[in-house]
Structure 1
Amino acid sequence: MARTVRNAKIDTRSARLKLTERREPYWTPISAGCYIGYRRGAKGGTWIARFRDDDGKHHYDALGAADDARDADGLTVYSFAQAQERARAFFAKTAQELAGDYEPSVGPYTVAMALDAYFADREQRGSKGLAKDRAAARARIRPELGEVELAKVTTKRIRDWQSVLATAPKLSRAPRVGKAGVSRPIDTNDAEAVRARRSSANRTLTVLKASLNHAFHGGRVASDDAWRKVKPFREADAPIVHFLSDDECRRIVNASDGAFRNIVKGALLTGCRYGELTRMRASDFNADAGTITVRESKSGKPRHVALTDEGRALFTELTAASTGRNLVFVRDDGKAWGPSHQQRPLDAASDRAKIEPPATFHILRHSYASALAQRGVPMGVIAAQLGHSDTRMTEKHYAHLSPNYVADTVRAALPALGIVEKSNVKALTPRA
């Protein structure tokens, strides 16, 4: 947000009341060629914006009423700070129009239009995660806010939408193509279920605010004050990391059928995402170096994943009779794995292996990283293997699993107090 300019003569309502009524506004420079003016009238004041182009011509815009008689609401009555935000939007829009870089919309500019423009810009820049964000907007933003004009978006309206979203039933994937998705209400007494819905609401709020910011910076709306005041739910995004033990990893592999077993093995031995595995080709495996190359990752940057002897043996077996362009992981019929082919066979394997909650490919990825962390592998190495840009995300999820200096020092230094009696009772391990 740009810095708010100060002017003691018009900053406050009481200061403006001391000014003489006149037609010519009291001008305050915002930046080179950009001014905001206050016109003092008999029934209160109004704000005016003035823009000087490269030819010296002046362009004006009536911003709205000043908060002389009524409190500022950001819609029809504006404080000096709010008027500056509207003026900056006018300056940007006018500069774009003069440069031939502005496309006026027909009728009011709505939230739906802002979403369309935002997604189109992301698609042009090759942004990742676009399909998922579009789906979230289609299901959660457009029905409630899509037809709302940007100039009429208020903080209260967004907060009300956010509160409803945090308690909305979770949408489930349709059981078959052509069927509508069903919803599952959340258990409000389940703290983890509430946290998960709030986390989802935070992600959707991020999409909404990003689209509105895109519209604001494009001069489509005068102020970003309404959504800038809306904050995400706190402590909703705490990492809840589920991972499989070594025994559960072996059980899920043994319970997987046919060619699906290979891709489960690949996930556990590389930490790669499902999409990264399904796109992997024989030429991506370097048998001499014992590495695989992930050419298209979530971050958009390629990475090299080091393999253990077991991982090298798996990829050697799967690429033995392949040409460089052949996919490493294919279905039993030789066709490629699709984007939604993984969860049902993994649910079935989890059920047979008695694993609860059912494993997902993200849990397989967590299992790989957690196994490394528990064996003292540095966070930087784990981050490189997973394709994280730095160690912040890695530390957030896995640092608590790693042997650390503090825990080792406490256990070595604290004396045994003898206050817990030794017992001969052995804990029973539940049978799988």
Structure 2
Amino acid sequence: MPEYKLQRFRGGWAVALYEGGKRLSRRQLGARDAAGASAEFARVVADATRPVDPDLRTIWNAYVADREGRRIAQNMTWSGAAVLPFFGDLKPQDVTQKLCRAYAALRRKAKRGSAAQQVRYEASGRPVPVGVSDSTIRTELNQLRTALLWAESVGLIVKAPAIEMPGAGQAQDRHLTREEFDRLLAAAETPHLRLYLLLAISTAGRNAALLELTWDRVDFDRGLVFLGPRHILRPQKGRATVPMTSALRAALSNAHAYRRTDRVIEWAGEPVRSVRTALAGATRRADLSKVTPHMIRHSAAVWMAEAGRPMGEVAAFLGHSDDIITQRVYARFSPSYLRGSAQALEVGGPRANLKR
């Protein structure tokens, strides 16, 4: 099998191709130092070994490898179980609007949940839920589009095809009142769910940030929770640094005393991957309609707005890069929202009694 090697050559560097111990070719590199030569060597080898006309499975896996260590790579490893059996063997030029619609139709008829969850349903005699939501289908197709656009940007393919996705739909506007949240908290039967709920409402953190939170990012001395890494200069999306409330400090202190892993949200000595099942059970016991992790984050933002907190402060708590989105979504919950403008439209009083 051919092998590429980086070699010193004529006072500089070269990339040589060997097979069976015999040199087949050698190419002078432009770089003059070791670091530059190493980087140029990597580019040359990547260009030489790049698959010709790769299929979508190759592109998907290459993108996941390029994003190794990021949450998107983990998410695409899971969603690939649905996307790749349908699209994997196709070439980019094979992707059409009709094909995307066929994928969406197939997913709307598919069984929901992981294979393990489906086995548990079947073992219990309950029917496995059917019908993947349009939001899930949209996420899967958007990941495919992202991988294809990346492949185009790095020269793996010439042109990324258009990917048709289901509409985004209407955003859920419902939020929990304080009384509803108290009922939900009281209905939480396990310590990990109770801690999760307190952490979620007290930090307005995203679900992923809460489940990935480690104890080294809980600063009891300063009373702070770092939802993102402590020492990065550029904050991650939705991962702010927020102060602890009194209730959260008490809950965290208790959980810290009995911790068995480095994760804040743990159960039976293992990090918790999802709270959806436990949350669904608490929701039923609290006699509430469907409650999601995002709804708790949304509720926290509404409560801050209802308390009259400045939108810039609410945006900082949510981890938004600016308060434009925050203003658009949450300003209407503020007690001062449009009050000045409404006062300018007051009628009655002395002006109303003027003769025409």
TM-score, with length taken from structure 1: 0.58
Question: 1:171 touches 1:184 (CA, 8 Å); kept in 2?
Answer: yes
Choose 387-396 or 263-272, whichever is displaced more: 387-396
User: 1:316 & 1:266 partners in 2: Cα distance?
Assistant: 12
Alignment counterpart, residue 100 of structure 2, candidates 159, 162, 165: 162
Instruction: In structure 1, list runs of 5 or more residues that go unmatched.
Output: 1-52, 56-94, 187-195, 417-432
Name the SS for the 2:241 alignment partner: strand
Deviations 1:166-216 (A, max 9, x none): 444165214845839955247xxxxxxxxx61x444333322222222322
CA contact (8 A) 1:382 1:394 kept: yes
Whichever residue aligns with residue 164 of structure 1, its letter is A
- Counterpart for residue 59 of structure 2: 114
1:136 aligns with 2:74: no
Letter in 2 for 1:391: D
1:24-423 aligned within 5 A: 99-104=44-49, 108-123=53-68, 126-139=69-82, 141-150=83-92, 152-153=93-94, 157-167=95-105, 168-169=107-108, 171-174=111-114, 176=116, 179=119, 182=128, 184-185=130-131, 197=134, 199-224=135-160, 226-227=161-162, 230=163, 236-259=168-191, 260-280=193-213, 284-296=217-229, 299=236, 303-319=240-256, 321=257, 328-331=264-267, 333=268, 335-340=269-274, 342-357=275-290, 359-395=291-327, 397-403=329-335, 405-406=337-338, 408-410=340-342, 413-415=345-347
Would the aligned equivalents of 1:306 and 1:385 in 2 still touch at CA under 8 Å? Answer: no
The change in CA–CA distance for 1:200 and 1:371 in structure 2 (over 3 A counts) is same
For residues 327 and 113 of structure 1, the distance between their equivalents in structure 2, rounded to whole angstroms, comes to: 34
Change (3 A) 1:286 1:387: same
Partner SS state of residue 236, structure 2: coil
Change (3 A) 1:361 1:222: closer
Q: Is the Cα contact below 8 Å between 2:225 and 2:244 reproduced in 1? A: yes
Deviations 1:14-73 (CA, angstroms, capped at 9, x unpaired):
xxxxxxxxxxxxxxxxxxxxxxxxxxxxxxxxxxxxxxx999xxxxxxxxxxxxxxxxxx
Kindly state the Cα deviation for residue 302 of structure 1 after the two structures are TM-superposed.
6.5
1:215-260 residue CA offsets vs partner (Å, 9 max, x unmatched): 2233333334x42xx56555x2543233211110110011111413
Identity among equivalent pairs (%)? 22
| DSSP-derived class of the 2:119 partner | coil
Q: What root-mean-square deviation, in Å, do the aligned CA atoms of Structure 1 and Structure 2 show?
A: 3.9
- For residue 309 of structure 1, what is the amino acid of its counterpart? S
Cross-structure match for 1:79: none
Contact 1:282 1:322 in 2 (8 A): no
Q: Which runs of 5+ in 2 are unaligned?
A: 1-26, 30-39, 122-127, 349-356
Distance 1:231 1:288 in 2: 50
* Equivalent residues of 1:114, 1:211 under 8 A apart: yes
8 Å Cα contact 2:228-2:236 kept in structure 1: no
Cα contact 1:373–1:379 (8 A) shared by 2: yes
Q: Determine the C-alpha separation between the residues in 2 that align with 1:364 and 1:303.
A: 16
- 1:239, 1:396 within 8 Å by CA — same for their partners in 2? no
Helix, strand or coil for the counterpart of 1:269? helix
Report deviation, 1:129. Answer: 2.5
Closer, same or farther: CA 163–252 of 1 in aligned 2, 3 Å: same
- Quote how far apart the aligned CAs of 1:130 are: 2.0
| Equivalent pair of 1:128/1:299 in contact (CA under 8 Å) | no
| Equivalent AA in structure 1 for residue 171 of structure 2 | P
Greater shift in the superposed pair: 296-305 or 344-353: 296-305
**Which structure has more helix as a fraction of its residues?**
2
Deviation of 1:318 after TM superposition, in Å, equals 4.1
Report how many aligned residue pairs link the two structures: 299
